[in-house]
Amino acid sequence: MPRVYGAAVVVVTLLLTGCGGGGARSSELRVCSADTFVPNYVPQLERLLYWERFPVTVYFERDANYSDYYRQLALQGFDQWVQATGFVVRYRQVDSPDAAQIKVYFKPDTRNGLTTYTYYPSSGRLVSAKVEIGIQGGNPIDIRSVAAHEFGHALGIGGHSANVEDLMYPTFTSNVPLEITPNDLNTVKTAYCNYFLARSRVAPREGGERPVQATIRCGCPY
């Protein structure tokens, strides 16, 4: 892995290979490498994606499962990322699904979450994301944690941590609040290191490329 030190802009291409399930995929990161912010679990991920700018727009689907109470719990989960990143990660709620980059749904038939996103494979630039938050059981601690976990995927974390302490571990224990660990934070900082290092990201050259879709399933395997 080539690295450039000093004042020069660091441009490193990091290939993230697949780790089971979806087959080999790759994303291209620029500006920094997986060695820039450590510890992290970037090498374990299938892909690491990014939004071109913040705030990212969020819409909560007002279907039969929606309530303001669930929305507030979900926002508390999202805000964990806002706080942890020192307001680099920001979102803005919008009133129309058409104006939203991230659409959020509540699912009464599961405690787990699911995120589907669309992105350009050559650059890793996100186009849209759909976040499903399980509300089965109605435990506010769990709903908040699942929302934080799924928002981590929606921010671009394409895969899971192998460390049970991390927010992005694939399963959770009910009634135990999850927090963003240094591993989680450094993984997101790697995706957005242009912000954290005050450097410019190389403009994506996607040409006529079509965005692709991927789904990340989370939760207990039973």
Q: Is residue 89 involved in binding Zn ion (CB under 5 A)?
A: no
Identify which of residues 31 and 218 has a Cβ nearer to Zn ion in the complex: 218
Identify which of residues 30 and 159 has a Cβ nearer to Zn ion in the complex: 159
- Cβ at position 211, least distance to Zn ion in Å: 21
Identify which of residues 36 and 186 has a Cβ nearer to Zn ion in the complex: 186
Q: Is 153 exposed, middle or buried (0-12, 13-18, 19+ CB in 10 A)?
A: buried
Identify which of residues 30 and 153 has a Cβ nearer to Zn ion in the complex: 153
User: What is the DSSP track for 151-202?
Assistant: HHHHTTEES--S-TTSTTSS---TT------HHHHHHHHHHTHHHHTT-PPP
- Cβ at position 31, least distance to Zn ion in Å: 25
Asked whether 134 and 146 are in contact (CB, 8 A), the reply is: yes
Site residues for Zn ion, 182-221, by CB under 5 A, read: 218
End-to-end CA distance of the chain: 39
- Cβ at position 32, least distance to Zn ion in Å: 24
d(CA 72, CA 135): 13
Q: Whose CB is nearest to Zn ion?
A: 218
- Cβ at position 197, least distance to Zn ion in Å: 27
- Cβ at position 163, least distance to Zn ion in Å: 13
Identify which of residues 28 and 150 has a Cβ nearer to Zn ion in the complex: 150
HSE of 219, CA atoms in CB hemisphere, 13 A: 19
- Binding footprint of Zn ion on the chain (CB under 5 A): 218
